[in-house]
Every structure is written in structure tokens, then in C-alpha cells.
Amino acid sequence: MGAELNQKLFSAADSLRGKMSADQYKDYLLGLIFYKYLSDKLLEATVVKAYKSLDEYNTLEKQTELYKSYILDDKSKDFFIATMSDTLGYHIEPQYLFSELANSVKNNSFELVHLKNAFVRLETAYTQFEGLFDDIDLDSKQLGVDANQRNITISDVIKKLDDIDVLGHDGDVIGDAYEYLIGEFAAGSGKKAGEFYTPQQVSDMMAQIVTIGQESTPAFTVYDPTMGSGSLMLNVRKYLKNPDRVQYHGQELNVTTYNLARMNLILHEVNSDDQNLHNGDTLNKDWPVDEPYMFDSVVMNPPYSAKWSADPTFMDDARFNRYGKLAPKSKADFAFLLHGFYHLKTSGTMAIVLPHGVLFRGAAEGTIRKKLLEDGSIYAVIGMPANLFFGTSIPTTVIILKKNRPGRDVLFIDASNDFTKFKNQNKLEPEHIKRIVDTYKNRESTEKYSYLASFEEIKENDFNLNIPRYVDTFEEETPIDMVALGKEMKSINEEEAKLEKEIYDMLLQLDCADEDKDWLNGILEVFNHGK
């Protein structure tokens, strides 16, 4: 399904490429994919609620007709709407179904106002959708200089997205779609485009680690203070025995990205009671402050070395006041780490992606790192390959933290050389992830890959956590056999002399005009023959 999804996204993007930047047209594409999901999900639910067979009602056309038969019937309409609203949390009027909008495109009766009305009706009728489609500006002149051109552009996009099976997609539809769009089209937008997305393989590895030992928890809570698309949080449930009993808590500063996360959780059928999402600044104002504010797991991929206020009043903040110093204004890495760690339960596990500099930089960061190590808070340090993340080629580290554990040793894993190279970026394969997770579980030293360092060793290294200090990955060069090398050189020289003699003999047989004899004699001199 992945390749098919990508192909259709590429085709749909063709309608917008050239009119606007990739960072803009992703909003149109993914907003429409989300709306199609809501519409198609409603039709599928209608078949199920009507006790009909999905094998029989196996096309959108058949499902649409069934939907209309209930919602356009005065006798069944009210009960049917109430049933759908109770089951899914919404309903859509027949003329605003994505399948009906696509049909109007096919018969040339589509108008932009129909899509506008569809968005407005959904946003105003149900609070869970409020503001979700704000970034889809259907009046933007980038879509076309006049209403007719804009109508043509959006019609073309709808037509191409209509064929995407959003319900049958095996995986994270919105996440997979965003990953593809960022990778293919948003390279020019640099870091901005990749701020909100953690590659699925890295996300998967982190999810496995933070759930170890908590797989059977009756009700699990996960928190991501820089949630982006929400995919980091959502991956956690794959490794729990009660995936339907997960509560998701997340915060995001960028309103567009915040809305993306809301879409993503709805796409994954997360009940509104199980999602607590907030649009705000993670560092400058703590959130959440009301129960629950401690979580079974914390997962984070914050913006690397971002600036923050580092206001001196934060030394009175419970998140930061135990560590002696504040993270510097120019690098908020440790501010993000301490914020997330503060919200971790004593029985929980935290995983955060950061640049390697946090492992060895001094001054205030060194003070914070020392305190974390003295407390035994840093449990493992995993060195990741370079060029894994969108918008940056730098190698990153995943730091694992725990509270109130008995020891202070730290497991170092150097996974920097385990990856598959693709055209634009490197990728972790399942075997690479398995090796990391297995090594993490075993918590033991492995030659040239991992090392379990005691607190005393780390102290001797002045609390520097730079991975090469602990994991020696140096590969010695194979000793050169000088006798064999000499024989090989002799053989090459003999072969060279033989070839020169053959060429010389062939040149001697050349029959040339008088004016070319000087040229031929010059060639013969090159071969050092005939003197």
C-alpha cells in the first residue's frame, strides 16, 4: 500500500507544485485526505450499523446509496444521525460526502463553495473539528488567479485523491503521507519541514523502549511535550497489551502542526476522552499542571538547539530548580529534557532525541548533566546514524531516562553504523531496531557496539558522555603481506612489459605515409623500443 499511496500523492501534488511551496501544499493534500477519511469511515460505519455485509457493499457508490437511504428518509433520519454521532462523534450531510464531491468533479458540476461549506458544517457542528481546516485557504490566489482557476486546481486534487483507500491503508496514513511529502517535496524548506515529524523507524524504536516492563499496565499514559504530528505517542500503543486503554497527552507550539496531531489521533480512532492536546509553549509555561501531570512514558523529539528565554525566574520552577543551572538561551536542549523528565512517573521511562552536543558540552549544560548522572537519571545513551531526520544531516542521540533507580551506571550503544542508505537519507531496518532494543534489554557490553559504564568511570571522564569514550568502534587495518605484495607487483610489471611489446609489434606493422613517420617514431619512443 505504501508505494501506491506515494504514487497517488505524487500525482495529486503535481496539481499544486509550482503554484506554492511544498510546505504550503502539504496542508491542502493532508487536510483533504483527512476529510476523505472522515467521509469514507462514515460510509463504512453505516454498512456495519445496518447489519449489512462489507463484502456486498464493497464500493463507495454502494455505501453512499445505503447512507442516503437512511439519512434522506424522514422516518429514520433523526435516529440514524444520532446513532452515527454516538458511534463516530459526527455525521456528514450526503451532498458533502467526499465521494459526492468527487462525483461532482467528474460530471463538471463541482464548485469551491461546496467544499467550503463541507468544512464549515463539520467545524461548527462538532467541537472536536474546530479550526482543523483553517490552513486550507480555498480563496488563495496561489491556487489560481480567479475563482474558475482555483476551482480547476482543487477539482484536479480531489479527483486524484479519490482513488486513495484511506481505510485499507496498513499503517499511519497521515504520518506516512507526511513523511513522503516531506521527503520528496519539502527539502527546500529545510528544517522547518521536518520539525514535526520523527521517522517511523526511530519512533518505533523509542516506543518499544519506553514500554518495556509496562506492557501489561491496565491503563497507560503517554506524554509528548513537542508532539508534532503525534506519531511518537501513537506508536506506543503497538507494544501494549491494552492498546485501547491509552491516554494521549501532548503539546505543540505551532497551530498548524497542533491541528495535524489532532487529525492524526482522530485517524487512529482515539476517543476524544483519551486525548488531551494543548496548543502552547512547552518551556515558557508548564503544562499540564492539573491531574494527570505525571505519565508512564514521555517521548520527545524537540527542535534541536532552539533558543528560549532562560529567564532567571525559572530557577524557582519545579522543573528546573534541582539542577543548579538553567539551559543556555542559545540551546534549549536540556530545558526540553528537564521539562519532560519532570512529568515522568517514578515507575516510567522517558526517551528523547537530541543532538550529540548535549553529551559533552560544558558550562551550564555540564552542570545539569552532572546532576542527572549523580541522581542516576540517565539510564542509556544511544548513538544514531547521521542523516536519519528530515531537515538535518547531523547524527543524533536518543537518551533514555528513569527516576529513582537503584544504580547509576549508564549503557552506551553505538548504532551509528547500522543503517541502509537511500537517495535522500538513511533508514533503520527492522534488524537494526531489534539489535538496539535487544542490547538495551540485555544491558551488557558488546564488542564495538555497546558498553555498560559504571558511575565511577563516568566520573573519571568528568561526566562527559561522548560515546567514543566508552564504545571503541575502531577497526584495525589488516596487516600487509609484503612477500605477497612483492610477488603481485612483479607479476603486474611482467604483464605490463608483455603488453607494451605486443603494442610495439603492432605499431611496427603499420603502413603509413611519409608525413606520419615522425608521429609513429614518437609513439615508438614512448614504448622505449627500437633504439
Q: For 293-307, 377-391, 421-435, 480-494, which range has the lowest pLDDT when averaged over its residues?
A: 480-494
Record the cell numbers describing residue 78, joined without a space: 433523526
Average pLDDT value for the chain: 87
Helix 22-49 vs helix 112-125: crossing angle, to nearest 10: 70
Given pLDDT bands bounded at 50, 70 and 90, which one contains residue 348?
A: very high
Which of 375 and 426 is assigned the larger pLDDT? 375
Type of residue found at 344: L
Helix 255-267 vs helix 22-49: crossing angle, to nearest 10: 30
Nearest by Cα to 365 from 380, 355, 351: 355
Range among 20-34, 79-93, 270-284, 370-384 rated most confident: 370-384
Nearest by Cα to 249 from 287, 217, 211: 287
What's the average model confidence in pLDDT over 265-281?
90
Q: Has residue 173 got a pLDDT over 50?
A: yes
Nearest by Cα to 214 from 245, 171, 172: 245
Residue 365, classed as helix, strand or coil, is: helix
Q: Is the four-CA dihedral 331, 333, 336, 342 of positive or negative sign?
A: negative
Given pLDDT bands bounded at 50, 70 and 90, which one contains residue 435?
A: very high
Using a CB cutoff of 8 Å and minimum separation of 24, what contacts does 487-493 make? none
Which of 276 and 172 is assigned the larger pLDDT? 276
Record the cell numbers describing residue 85, joined without a space: 454521532
**How many angstroms separate the CA atoms of 285 and 235, rounded?**
27
Q: What is the pLDDT of residue 477?
A: 59
What's the average model confidence in pLDDT over 66-75?
91
Burial class (CB in 10 A: 0-12, 13-18, 19+), 395: middle
Q: What is the pLDDT of residue 391?
A: 64
Given pLDDT bands bounded at 50, 70 and 90, which one contains residue 10?
A: confident
pLDDT in tens, 443-459: 999 999 999 999 999 99
Q: What is the pLDDT of residue 474?
A: 56
Which of 51 and 395 is assigned the larger pLDDT? 51
* Bond preceding residue 302 cis, omega within 30 of 0: no
Q: What is the pLDDT of residue 440?
A: 97
What's the average model confidence in pLDDT over 228-253?
93
**How many angstroms separate the CA atoms of 24 and 21, rounded?**
5
Type of residue found at 502: E
Q: What is the pLDDT of residue 530?
A: 45
Percent with pLDDT over 70 in the chain: 86
Specify the residue for cell string 496561489. 142
What's the average model confidence in pLDDT over 293-300?
97
Q: How far is CA 38 from the centre of its chain?
A: 23
Q: Has residue 187 got a pLDDT over 50?
A: no
Range among 35-49, 168-182, 185-199 rated most confident: 35-49
What's the average model confidence in pLDDT over 472-489?
72
- Report whether 394 contacts 412 (CB < 8 A): no
**How many angstroms separate the CA atoms of 492 and 498, rounded?**
10
- Report whether 333 contacts 372 (CB < 8 A): no
**How many angstroms separate the CA atoms of 324 and 220, rounded?**
32
What's the average model confidence in pLDDT over 301-330?
94
What's the average model confidence in pLDDT over 281-297?
93
**How many angstroms separate the CA atoms of 141 and 300, rounded?**
37
Q: CA neighbours within 13 Å on the CB side: how many for 260?
A: 29
Q: Has residue 297 got a pLDDT over 80?
A: yes
Q: Has residue 9 got a pLDDT over 80?
A: no
DSSP state of 79: H
- Report whether 345 contacts 403 (CB < 8 A): yes
Q: Has residue 141 got a pLDDT over 80?
A: yes
Q: Has residue 33 got a pLDDT over 50?
A: yes
Q: What is the pLDDT of residue 194?
A: 43
**How many angstroms separate the CA atoms of 209 and 338, rounded?**
19
Q: For 64-78, 226-240, 378-392, 491-505, which range has the lowest pLDDT when averaged over its residues?
A: 491-505
Given pLDDT bands bounded at 50, 70 and 90, which one contains residue 167?
A: confident
Record the cell numbers describing residue 104, joined without a space: 461532482
Nearest by Cα to 178 from 234, 219, 217: 234
Q: What is the pLDDT of residue 246?
A: 96
Q: What is the pLDDT of residue 492?
A: 87
Q: What is the pLDDT of residue 190?
A: 40
Q: What is the pLDDT of residue 482?
A: 79
DSSP state of 108: T
Using a CB cutoff of 8 Å and minimum separation of 24, what contacts does 80-85 make? 83/49, 84/42, 84/45, 84/46, 84/49
Q: Has residue 25 got a pLDDT over 80?
A: no
Q: Has residue 193 got a pLDDT over 70?
A: no
Q: Give the total residue count for the chain.
A: 531
Please work out, in degrees rounded to the nearest 5, the angle formed at the alpha carbon of residue 196 by the alpha carbons of 434 and 131. Answer: 130
Q: For 382-391, 461-470, 472-481, which range has the lowest pLDDT when averaged over its residues?
A: 472-481
Residue 209, classed as helix, strand or coil, is: helix
- Report whether 401 contacts 379 (CB < 8 A): yes
**How many angstroms separate the CA atoms of 438 and 189, rounded?**
37
- Report whether 301 contacts 286 (CB < 8 A): no
Q: Has residue 392 got a pLDDT over 90?
A: no
Given pLDDT bands bounded at 50, 70 and 90, which one contains residue 495?
A: confident
**How many angstroms separate the CA atoms of 143 and 16, rounded?**
7
What's the average model confidence in pLDDT over 362-371?
96
Q: What is the pLDDT of residue 1?
A: 47
Q: How far is CA 428 from the centre of its chain?
A: 12
Q: What is the pLDDT of residue 191?
A: 43
Helices (H) and strands (E) in the chain, counts: 18, 11
Specify the residue for cell string 542523516. 387
Percent with pLDDT over 90 in the chain: 57
Given pLDDT bands bounded at 50, 70 and 90, which one contains residue 3?
A: low
Residue 371 neighbours by CB distance under 10 Å: 16
Given pLDDT bands bounded at 50, 70 and 90, which one contains residue 36?
A: very high
**How many angstroms separate the CA atoms of 510 and 118, rounded?**
85
**How many angstroms separate the CA atoms of 210 and 452, rounded?**
19
**How many angstroms separate the CA atoms of 135 and 277, rounded?**
19
Specify the residue for cell string 505525571. 294
Q: Has residue 192 got a pLDDT over 50?
A: no
Name the phi and psi angles at 397, rounded to 5: -125, 145
Beta strands in 437-500 (DSSP E): 450-453
